[in-house]
Amino acid sequence: MSSESALRDRNGADYELIETLRWEPATGFVRIERHRARLQASADALGFRHDTPAVEHALASAAGGRTPLRIRLTLSHAGDVACTSHPFEPIPSGTIWRLRVADTRLDAADPLLRHKTSRRDVFQAARLEFTVEEADEVILLNGQGKLCEGTITNLFLDLGNGRPLLTPALANGLLPGVLRGELIEQGRAVEADLLPHDLAIAKSIFVGNSLRGLIPAAIATD
């Protein structure tokens, strides 16, 4: 039995599935179909009960008003759905996030890394290696030393020459982010095995997620 099958066959789960979405007054939920598809796929893979009308009702109840919102949806193993909403505050134009690389490593064989869940101990450990003054985001490697992702973002490198952005391959142990999937489908990004050295030679570095889009970034040196 595979490790993911073992997770799926458990009688319960000590974690929840999560989707974090942005809602805009003029256009509604951003990338909603991709969020729905990822939630459904994770529920199917891990044996979570998923009632589409309940999910849709929870999202609709959380949205509304005149200001953009950050909405966090959780789904329990039993199928209970909950949403919380807060005003969405965009990153000021021209902001460049400071990145640092964690000593904490991801296990590429952990099947839960392919799903967005509340089991986030490894990401919290990586984030705690640096203060918010030292880093806006922290990048994790896997046990083989390959670049994977940030604590709340996927990673993208521009090596120049007009080529698509490079983003770490899922096989290295990371979340198939909603924004990441869109960029790959559009031909704006492709998967690659990346090493810390690639951060140094990249023409530009970005991190991103569906909530905030692509964020210019740089490796902190101070």
Sign of the Cα torsion 96, 140, 151, 129 reads: negative
CB atoms within 10 A of CB 186: 9
Q: What angle do CA 186, 188, 190 make, to 5 degrees?
A: 100
Question: Long-range contacts for 120-125 (Cβ within 8 Å, ≥24 apart)?
Answer: 123/151, 123/152, 124/151
Any idea where the domains of the chain sit in the sequence?
3-87, 97-219
For 28-45, what is each residue's pLDDT tens digit? 999 999 999 999 999 999
Which residue is associated with the tokens 């458990």?
Answer: 10
Q: Out of 3.30.465.10, 3.30.470.10, 1.10.10.10, 3.20.20.70, which CATH number does the structure's domain 3-87 have?
A: 3.30.470.10
This model's pTM is above 0.85: yes
Compute how many other C-beta atoms are within 10 angstroms of the C-beta atom of residue 158: 16
Share of the chain above pLDDT 90, in %: 92
| pLDDT tens readout for residues 48-98 | 999 999 999 999 999 999 999 999 999 999 999 999 999 999 999 999 999
CATH among 1.10.10.10, 3.20.10.10, 3.30.930.10, 3.40.50.300 for 97-219: 3.20.10.10
> Please, which pLDDT band fits residue 10 given cuts at 50, 70 and 90?
very low
Give the pLDDT confidence score for residue 161 in this predicted structure. Answer: 83
